[in-house]
Chain A
Amino acid sequence: MKRLSAIDAALAAQRLHNLAKALDPFLHHPLEFPRDFPSVLWPQGSTHESPMNPLASTSSQETENEIDVRIYEFAVLLPYPMGQKEQQQAVKEIETIFKEAGAKEVSKDVWGARGLAYPIEGHNEGNFIVYHQEIDPAKLKEVDTALRIVPGVLRHIVVKPPKGYKIVKFSAGYEQWLKERESASEKTKRERETEIQERVAEKAKRQVKRTERAKTEAAPEAMSKEEVGKKLDQIISDDSLGI
């Protein structure tokens, strides 16, 4: 039998290892790219049918499905004292942009008038509209550039919420928070009242203790039978009482 050289042996060992990795996912080296990065190693549209590619046959369809559609959050800020026609026109333009990009609307939340922390283009109040859209990530850039062009839009932001994010409509929660929250002056009032109440309660307790102590100290001493008898005799013999 022909002896293998050291180089041939090393190459053969490497090929065996690669084959084993392809067949068994648990042999995957932790420092290598995980399967969630297909755009880096296996770009879309490329055919990878080699046995070394673990994503070739089985999970490539799954990754394609995951990439095609994702839910993104689009928040748009419009100025608040805005004409109804202008506002409708702006909202229509935004929605046509989403339609052209092939987005599917998941939710729409219109906040109404909200005060801004600083004036934006001369406006101190704004109207927020928050959309959640299912859209292809490849078309995000187009939507972003198109939203910058729409007249009337002051700000817009695109955020990718994490997995398991529950879409919450903040408009209702904010109104409730406004009603429930107390201003600084009300807070100081409430704190003062509680302090006064605590002081009054402590004073009342001290007074009760004092009265109890006074009662126990002033309690008369028990008299003996002889003394009681003598006093009774005195009372009976006293003619002025008329007993």
Chain B
Amino acid sequence: MRNAQSQKKRPDLRSKECCFCEKETVYLDWKDYPTLKPHVDYFGAVRKRFLTGVCLRHQKMLRIAIERARFMGMLAYRK
């Protein structure tokens, strides 16, 4: 029988707020590896908005930045 303390409740992803909207980012730089890395999964794919809580506007900026970073070799197309 599992210990009730060890069972952790999954957080509600719908209540997540966009981390870029809080900082009021206007432009996402492809050179900013620490900012882009959390939004890319282990296999190199862009994480879905549902999981990260990013808004549509910033998700589009993210996608452009990640594609540029991939072209320049900073991020992988596919691991």
Measured CA separation A154–B31 after assembly (Å): 17
Beta-carbon contact of B72 and A77 below 8 Å: yes
Does B73 lie within 8 Å of A116, measured CB to CB?
yes
From B30, B31, B32, B73, give the contact of A117 (CB < 8 A).
B73
Question: In the assembled complex, which residues on chain B have CB atoms less than 8 Å from the CB atom of A155?
Answer: 71-73
Q: Is the CB of A174 within 8 A of B73?
A: no
- List residues of chain B with CB within 8 A of the CB of A56: none
Give the size range of B's interface with the partner. 10 to 19
| Interface secondary structure of A, over-half rule | strand
Chain B, 68-79, contact with A by CB distance < 8 Å: what is the 0/1 string?
A: 101111111100
Inter-chain contact B74/A117, CB cutoff 8 Å: yes
In-complex Cβ contact of A77 among B27, B32, B44, B73 (8 A): B73
- Of the candidates A130, A162, A164, which one forms a contact with B31 in the assembled complex, judged by CB atoms under 8 Å apart? A130
A-B contact pairs, 28 of them (CB 8 A): A77-B72, A77-B73, A114-B74, A116-B73, A116-B74, A117-B75, A118-B73, A118-B76, A120-B73, A128-B72, A130-B31, A154-B73, A155-B71, A155-B73, A157-B30, A157-B68, A157-B72, A159-B30, A161-B27, A162-B26, A164-B26, A168-B29, A170-B29, A170-B32, A173-B34, A174-B33, A177-B33, A181-B34
